């Protein structure tokens, strides 16, 4: 067992910079559709990789963005290996057209939605939209940070977020009593 001051300092730095983000990594991993056990494994592998490559982190204030980029890399490798989860890169970006009218996607009223409905709607999203939505809402990244993590232009981040939210709203609308009553009237 080593009592190496430099190594201990490195571990202490890891505790400060990386460990506080473990809960959000877990939440995102779970909502990406993996089991609890796989989510924990993915997060652990992410953190170990982050520790091994800690010297690549030039700016401490960018630790969170960098860590989630590492996580995404670990997750995509897992997703490719386990074909149960589609690889984000395999999903075409333009699977959904932008709405002709903004009103279509922004009808008022979500009072019927339960969190279970929301969870189901998120889990039904294509992975490319789901990961963007989760990184924005759960991890709270800005468009610029999302662009860095996802390795896409900011405009692509914005269109993915827009489509993800539209899909969630449409899924919620399908589960709403109002939608059901409309269906019945027809």
Partner 1 sequence: VTCHDALTAMDAYLDDELTVLEALRVQQHLGRCASCRQAAESEAALHSLVAAEAMQEAPPTTLQERILQSIRAETGAQGTRPRRPRRSIPFSAWLPRGALAGLLLACLALPGTGGPADAPFAGDVVARHLRYTTSATPDLDLTTPDASRLAGWLHQRLGFAVGVPPAAGRGERLLGGRVSTIANRPAAYVLYEGEGGRRVSLFVARRWSRAPMEESEESIEGVDLYTATLNDVSLAWWADRDRFYLALARAGTTDLRGLAVLCIRQRGLTAGAPVGLTEAAAGLGGGPGKGGSGSRLLTQVHG
Residue 66: burial class (beta carbons within 10 Å; 0-12, 13-18, 19+): buried
Q: Is 98 in the site for partner 1 (CB under 8 A)?
A: no
**82: DSSP letter:** S
21: closest CA among 46, 53, 4, 2? 46
Q: Between residue 102 and residue 131, which ones bind partner 1 under the rule CB under 8 A?
A: 102-103, 106-110, 113, 115, 118-119, 122
Q: Is 148 in the site for partner 1 (CB under 8 A)?
A: no
Q: Between residue 31 and residue 70, which ones bind partner 1 under the rule CB under 8 A?
A: 31, 40, 43-44, 47-48, 51, 61, 63-64
> How does 26-45 read in b/e, with b if 16+ C-beta sit within 10 Å?
eebbbbbbbeeebbbebbeb
Beta strands in 18-147 (DSSP E): none
Name the site residues for partner 1 (rule: CB under 8 A): 1-4, 7-8, 11-12, 14-17, 19-24, 26-28, 30-31, 40, 43-44, 47-48, 51, 61, 63-64, 102-103, 106-110, 113, 115, 118-119, 122, 133-134, 136-140, 142-143, 158, 161-162, 165, 168-169, 172
């Amino acid at each position: 067992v080593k009592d190496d001051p430099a190594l201990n300092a490195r571990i202490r730095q890891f505790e400060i910079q990386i460990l506080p983000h473990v809960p959000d990594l877990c939440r995102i991993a779970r909502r990406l559709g993996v089991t609890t056990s796989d989510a924990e494994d993915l997060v652990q592998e992410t953190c170990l990789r982050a520790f091994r490559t800690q010297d690549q982190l030039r700016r401490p204030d960018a630790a969170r963005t960098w860590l989630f980029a590492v996580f995404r890399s670990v997750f995509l490798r897992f997703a490719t290996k386990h074909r149960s989860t589609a690889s984000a890169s395999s999903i075409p970006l333009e699977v959904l057209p932008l709405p002709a009218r903004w009103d279509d996607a922004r009808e008022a009223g979500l009072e019927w939605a339960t969190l279970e409905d929301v969870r189901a709607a998120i889990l039904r999203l294509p992975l490319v939209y789901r990961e963007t939505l989760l990184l924005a809402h759960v991890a709270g990244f800005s468009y610029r940070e999302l662009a860095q993590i996802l390795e896409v232009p900011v405009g692509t981040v914005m269109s993915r977020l827009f489509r993800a939210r539209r899909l969630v709203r449409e899924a919620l609308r399908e589960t709403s009593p109002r939608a059901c009553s409309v269906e019945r009237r027809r």
